[in-house]
Chain A
Amino acid sequence: MALAAARTAPAASTFDWLAAVKDAAITALLAAALGLFMVGFRTADRGAAGLQFDYQFTDLLIACVAIFLGRLALTAASKGMAWLTLLIGAALLAAAQGLKLPSDFLTVVISLAGLALLLHAAWALLRGSSAGAAAIADVSGRVNAATVRLFPWLGAGMLAFAVALPFMPFADQQVMDLGILILTYVMLGWGLNIVVGLAGLLDLGYVAFYAVGAYTYALLSTQNGWSFWAALPAAGVLAAMFGVLLGFPVLRLRGDYLAIVTLGFGEIVRIVLLNWVDFTQGPAGIGSIPTATILDHPFVESPPEGKVAFHQWLGLEFSANHRLIVLYFIILVLALITNGVTIRLRRLPIGRAWEALREDETACQALGINPTNTKLTAFAIGAMFAGFAGSFFAAKQRFISPESFVFIESAIILSIVVLGGMGSQLGVVLAAVLLIGLPEWFRDLGQYRMLAFGLAMVLIMIFKPRGLVAHRDPTIRLHPPSGRGSPS
């Protein structure tokens, strides 16, 4: 409608002020309707008096004015009036920084909006002038060439960085924790990538297998005294069995149905963990899970009788960081195994069958591929890696409860895979660093973190639906496409 008209219109010399203002007013009115109740009347519990309102109409009014101006600025930019955008952007930024707005939220959002408008306008002005356009073309050409040249080395570079990280001077406990967290999600992303990226099955309950792995290790170690390394294969096998158990009945379903059934399965697993108190200790969770050790050398300063502590074994000074460093390398190796297996599988007949199935199921059936069995393998292998990651998670946290395995975790892992560009191994790493690492660094965002996360999911789908590293091409094809035109 209005937006579409703005896009198709040529850069007219006559700017239709009336239409632009009307359009902006409608947008602001819409925002007012959205916010009137939710923002305007904040319900607060006043004890005996019941719920009462805190009125926030100033906030609402300010937000609507900002939206009006912002919309006007965007229309102006699309009609070749970038100077107006520049002006409004500067005004918003100045107003947000200079005036005392009623809430920090408004200050932050309006400042960011002003900044975005400034950049947008600057970009439009630069592209408008001939010298600027030439400069952009030159720079983007060079960047593209550099990316193409350096891309093969990017993976190796990241791996080298990952291996070297624990020995860096800045690698304190916080950095190691974050590194372990990111690597856990990288591993989960790679595992889910087999299911979603290669086989094209949308799994919204992946966290269930993660939970199975975590509880397997937690129960085996606390009740039967199994060590991490003994329980790890068991966790993987059990998670894979759960994958088969779930997959067998439902894998005949089409994509969307499969998504909802897997979501339901994830919820079932969580509800069972929550309510089967005798077995899982329910909402209280399982605590004092033993950590993972190397050759049974504990990470304590003075080891118990008959044991050699880790630092004594290596002849090092005792440091509390050793446990984290060892855990870091365990998850790094586990993640690399996931990656290696995936890369190998892609070259095997089963991997080819996954990708073929993703592209066209009916054609595969005609060629004699059994879709159910093929999908089941993908499901089971993906689940197995989630099980490994889960038992690592239990060993690292030393405490697990059903709280850790809610739907939002599945959504986060899925968005890592999708943002990475489904099927791309490197993309998963970049996306995990972006989605897990950035929010951890920006702890100040606090309660706005998840809001920004959801917003990012929508915006990425709109502006970059193929992900950061678009890579859904089949690994091989019979007739290689000529030229550089990439197949869709």
Chain B
Amino acid sequence: MEYFLQQLINAVTLGAIYGLIAIGYTMVYGIIGMINFAHGDIFMVGSFIALIGFILCVMLGIGWAPLAILLVLLLAMVFTAVYGWAVERLAYRPLRGSFRLAPLISAIGVSIVLQNFVQLAQGARPKPNKEVVHGAMRLYEANGFAVNLSYIQVIIVVVTVALMAGFTLLINRTALGRQQRACEQDMKMAALLGVDVNRTISLTFVMGAALAAVAGMMFLMYYGVTDFFVGFLAGIKAFTAAVLGGIGSLPGAMLGGLLIGLIEVFWAGYFSSEYKDVAAFSVLVMVLIFRPTGLLGKPEIEKV
């Protein structure tokens, strides 16, 4: 029971990180119907910018953790968003209206470029980060096994929930959100009604990248290390989460992230940690066979 509770806490933390990345996939897929394969690498870039931000904070003598976290959060979000914008502008926008596979292949190219760029600029070795927040709450103790909730886990979950709430409001209540939903339904019609489609799509990428940056920062704080290749697996799993939850649906992405986190952590905890990725992918296949639209997705009707 205690072991189970501990695993559950770990799973929710990991799920929150996957969920944040998955939102980027789901928003982009919803609006232009492409798999932004480079999104995982945007997450990796975010983790690097956060790493550099934390070192800068130490150098500038900002020792108070909440201030440092807030500063680095803003820094990472803003500068990673520039990456998201630039990638869309340079590699995807010229391909709008090209054949179906073109954006996906271009995205694979971008992913390779980003990985190798970071490897060249920052070196290939894993980069450790000094622990920013340490300590944990002891929730309860029984049978000689203590269930701990570390402060960093609290921060991750709280930040994720706050951002989720903010983005749900943004999509449902603001003019930008309305424009995004309009573009999602019918891009041409939205353009005719005066929606700046290019700007809306750009902003979708910017928002997705900012969220990925937060995920990257959380990942760095949680695991204390990052390298140029972390984006690949995290990206695939987050995409799995987006599909699991129903691609195009924001709550679905969050739910999917949570489920992937649960599956991975419990599989590693109870069966074997080597095959945790296999478990996640197998779930993806199962979901696609039995419920191709995902848990919260709307069925897609193909018209001829």
Shortest C-beta distance, A107 to chain B (Å), equals 15
Number of interface residues of A (CB under 8 A): 63
What is the interface residue range for chain B against chain A? 35 or more
Does B109 lie within 8 Å of A457, measured CB to CB? yes
A260 and B239 contacting across the interface, CB-CB below 8 Å: yes
Chain A residues in 8 Å Cβ range of B122: 38, 42-43
Q: Digitize B235-252: 1 where CB-to-A-CB distance is under 8 Å, 0 elsewhere.
A: 010011001000000000
Do residues B82 and A30 form an inter-chain contact, with CB atoms below 8 A? yes
Residue interface bits A244-273, CB-to-B below 8 A is 1, else 0:
000001101111110111011101100110
- A168 at the B interface (CB under 8 A): no
Shortest CB-to-CB span from A7 to chain B, Å, is 11
How many Å lie between the Cα of A36 and that of B79 in the bound state? 9
Q: CB < 8 Å: which of A38, A105, A408 contacts B48?
A: A38
**Chain B contacts with A in 90-125, Cβ cutoff 8 A:** 90-91, 94-95, 98-106, 108-113, 115-123, 125
B45 part of interface (Cβ distance < 8 Å): yes
* Cβ < 8 Å to B, chain A residues 357-377: 360, 362-363
Q: B98 to chain A: closest CB distance in Å?
A: 5
Distance between Cα atoms of A411 and B112 in the complex (Å): 10
Chain A 2-18 interface mask (CB, 8 Å, partner B; 1/0): 00000000000000000
Q: Which of A37, A51, A254, A274 is in CB contact (< 8 Å) with B128?
A: A51
Q: Closest B-chain residue to A44, C-beta based?
A: B123
Q: How far is the CB of A472 from chain B (nearest CB, A)?
A: 8
**Contact indicator B116/A450 (Cβ below 8 Å):** yes
A465 touches which one: B99, B112, B272 (CB < 8 A)? B99
Given contacts A42-B122, A263-B236, contact A418 B101 (CB under 8 A): yes
How far, in whole Å, are A265 and B284 apart by their CA atoms in the complex?
A: 10
- On chain A, the residues within 8 Å of B129 by CB distance are 51
Judge whether A456 is part of the interface by a CB distance below 8 angstroms: yes
Known contacts: A43-B122, A250-B288. The answer to whether A271 contacts B277 by CB under 8 A is yes
Interface contact tally, CB-CB below 8 A: 177
Chain B's closest residue to A33 (CB) is B82
Q: Is B181 interfacial (CB-CB < 8 Å)?
A: no
Contacts of A267 on B, CB cut-off 8 Å? 236, 277, 281
Residues of B contacting A272 in the complex (Cβ-Cβ under 8 angstroms): 275, 278
B186 at the interface (CB under 8 A from A): no
| Bound CA span A275–B101, Å | 33
Assembled-state Cα–Cα distance A259/B95 (Å): 19
Residues of B within 8 Å of A274, CB to CB, are: 274
A259-B86 Cα distance, complex, nearest whole Å: 25
Collect the chain B residues with CB atoms within 8 Å of residue A42's CB: 121-123
Smallest distance from the beta carbon of B28 to chain A beta carbons, Å? 12
Q: Which chain A positions have C-beta within 8 A of B302?
A: 362
A448 close to chain B: CB less than 8 A:
yes
**Residues of chain A with a CB closer than 8 A to B282's CB:** 268
- Does residue A50 face the partner (Cβ distance < 8 Å to B)? yes
Say yes or no: is B304 at the interface (Cβ < 8 Å to chain A): yes
Given contacts A461-B91, A465-B95, 13 further A-B contacts (CB under 8 A): A30-B86, A37-B53, A45-B127, A257-B292, A260-B35, A261-B285, A271-B274, A271-B275, A274-B274, A418-B101, A450-B112, A461-B98, A465-B98
Residue numbers of A with Cβ under 8 A of B are 1, 30, 33-34, 36-39, 41-45, 50-53, 105, 202, 249-250, 252-257, 259-261, 263-265, 267-268, 271-272, 274-275, 360, 362-363, 407-408, 411, 414-415, 418, 422, 447-448, 450-451, 453-458, 461-462, 465-466
A-B contact pairs, 12 of them (CB 8 A): A33-B79, A34-B83, A43-B55, A50-B130, A261-B288, A268-B278, A275-B275, A362-B304, A414-B105, A450-B116, A454-B116, A455-B109
